Structure 1
Amino acid sequence: MMSYANSSVGSGSRTARRTFEFGRTYVVRPRGKHQATIVWLHGLGDNGSSCSQLLESLPLPNVKWICPTAPSRPVAMLGGFPCTAWFDVGELSENGPDDLEGLDASAAHIANLLSTEPSDVKLGVGGFSMGAAIALYSATCFAHGKYGNGNPYPVTLRAIVGLSGWLPGASNVRNRIEGSHEAVRRAASIPILLGHGLCDDVVPHTYGERSFHALSSAGFRNIVYKSYDGLGHYTVPKEMEEVCSWLNTRLGV
């Protein structure tokens, strides 16, 4: 078990520290030459094991996949019922408050997993649903050069994949990026692939579209949005094939 204690900076007041206990991490080793490492993040209530089973069948022999398991926590959207979740979420709305502490803790856990990879290996983050939300949040932390709490973001990301997800903190992404030439440059450079089913009744595809527009308007130029007719809140082989060919092209693996 790994825990990550995260203290948020209050305005002069002492804020309670929460410690997040992350579950087991599953690793799919590359069958060929190790050229890229991608952390892949599961959706709400799932775990790293089911992701690793899906990923090990993909035709990407030079990619190492790391599949962590989120901490178990009470989730407001489920009436406080505890389950594995990368952060707490009350409702999927632009105006709902974001659990910045939970977002930062998960983004830091992922960056820590990537930080020990060999220096010549390209790094990426991908995920499904709530996992996609953390992948996109990680992209904004990378571009900004820091987490939401101001701590420096330590790794260089080369590819982001978000399937059936949304962008937490979409409304202030542009402000975070526009203030710095470096942030603008990093945002423009990182390739992002978004995929969403048009029949998704859990995270409606409009959230995927809004995330695409929020990222685009914040200066993320290298971004592709694909929608799938008839697809609900799950992935299908056709979508995963497109993820593979996109990763192949972007990462040269």
Structure 2
Amino acid sequence: MSYSGSSMSSGSGSSRRTFEFGRTHVVRPKGKHQATIVWLHGLGDNGSSWSQLLETLPLPNIKWICPTAPTRPVALFGGFPCTAWFDAGEISEDAPIDLEGLDASAAHVANLLSTEPPNIKLGIGGFSMGAATALYSATCHILGHYGNGNIYPINLSAIVSLSGWLPCSRTLKNQIEQSRDGIRRAALLPLFLCHGRGDDVVAYEHGERSAVTLSSSGFQNLIFRSYNGLGHYTVPEETDEVCRWLTANLGLEGFRLN
């Protein structure tokens, strides 16, 4: 199932940009609806490809929402336009970051979750740049606001990052450490990070350092899994672990692993 995307403004004043998000694909739960997770694709991809994979997972109680990022010029590709959650000139946890683009994407995700029933647990996951956006959303949740200061409205129960990194990690770490409420909320939010040691797109070291930064910032319920020989893609061993972790941390019923 799918529905078309929306536009969203970010920042303030006359210089703010408008981002046109692409089509969103929805995978309905096959069993009792207990959780909703927005899943974010990687650079240049779209929501359709991940919705097809997520539909095959043995998680009948999860509703998956798979949006498509805006098409925009990306500095990493010399300004060539492609789907991207934010602009990036390099992939690194301390690289200069497109905060306006990140905030717009995080707000779009929060908006998708905002209409879910009140008894449903909410989560965000993603791959590569989508994983980076998911981790950024986690910091917005525990700080209580986006980078532009606007209030973050969603109560998250789980974050999954595959082959990703934490954007502007040093700045976010400082902000978290200065917030008593942020440290308290960080301790309550489960995070599951996975990274292949053979990743030649988002280097393994970036994923590992991001996990260390998050852990030292107060995310006590964080698991980091590494996979020998795994490149910039996912494998059944990894998705099986994600299924087990989501079932345990969201208290899901009806889990079955083929």
TM-score bracket, normalised by the shorter chain, equals over 0.9
> 2:94 touches 2:169 (CA, 8 Å); kept in 1?
no
> 2:93 touches 2:165 (CA, 8 Å); kept in 1?
no
1: CA distance between counterparts of 2:186 and 2:93? 21
Paired position in structure 1 for 2:133: 134
AA at the equivalent of 2:47? G
Paired position in structure 2 for 1:65: 64
Matches within 5 A, 1:93-104: 93-104=92-103
Give 1:121 shift: 0.2
Instruction: Please state if 1:211 is matched with 2:210.
Output: yes
Q: Which moved more, 1:216-225 or 1:93-102?
A: 93-102
Aligned-residue CA RMSD in angstroms? 0.9
2: CA distance between counterparts of 1:173 and 1:209? 16
| Residue ranges of structure 1 left out of the alignment (5+ in a row) | 9-13
Aligned to 2:230, what secondary structure does the other structure show?
coil
Give 1:226 shift: 0.2
> 1:28 touches 1:66 (CA, 8 Å); kept in 2?
yes
> 2:71 touches 2:82 (CA, 8 Å); kept in 1?
yes
Paired position in structure 1 for 2:11: 7
2: CA distance between counterparts of 1:218 and 1:98? 20
Give 1:212 shift: 0.4
Paired position in structure 1 for 2:170: 171
Matches within 5 A, 1:1-253: 1-8=5-12, 16-253=15-252
Aligned to 2:124, what secondary structure does the other structure show?
strand
1: CA distance between counterparts of 2:175 and 2:21? 28
Give 1:16 shift: 1.1
AA at the equivalent of 1:5? S
> 2:93 touches 2:166 (CA, 8 Å); kept in 1?
no
Q: Which moved more, 1:100-109 or 1:212-221?
A: 212-221
- TM (normalized to structure 2)? 0.94
Give 1:135 shift: 0.4
Q: Deviations over 1:1-51 (max 9, x none)?
A: 30001124xxxxx66110000000000000000000000000000000001
Q: Which moved more, 1:224-233 or 1:14-23?
A: 14-23
> 2:197 touches 2:228 (CA, 8 Å); kept in 1?
yes
Give the paired residue count.
248
Give 1:97 shift: 1.1
1: CA distance between counterparts of 2:30 and 2:161? 24
- TM (normalized to structure 1)? 0.96
> 1:35 touches 1:63 (CA, 8 Å); kept in 2?
yes
1: CA distance between counterparts of 2:133 and 2:125? 8
Paired position in structure 2 for 1:11: none
1: CA distance between counterparts of 2:35 and 2:183? 24
Q: Deviations over 1:54-112 (max 9, x none)?
A: 00000000000000000000000000000000000001234421100000000000000
Aligned to 2:65, what secondary structure does the other structure show?
strand
Distance 1:51 1:94, change over 3 A: closer
AA at the equivalent of 2:9? A
Aligned to 1:195, what secondary structure does the other structure show?
strand
Give 1:181 shift: 2.1
Aligned to 1:194, what secondary structure does the other structure show?
strand
Distance 1:88 1:248, change over 3 A: same
Give 1:217 shift: 1.2
> 1:158 touches 1:190 (CA, 8 Å); kept in 2?
yes
> 1:173 touches 1:214 (CA, 8 Å); kept in 2?
no
1: CA distance between counterparts of 2:228 and 2:95? 29
> 1:7 touches 1:15 (CA, 8 Å); kept in 2?
no
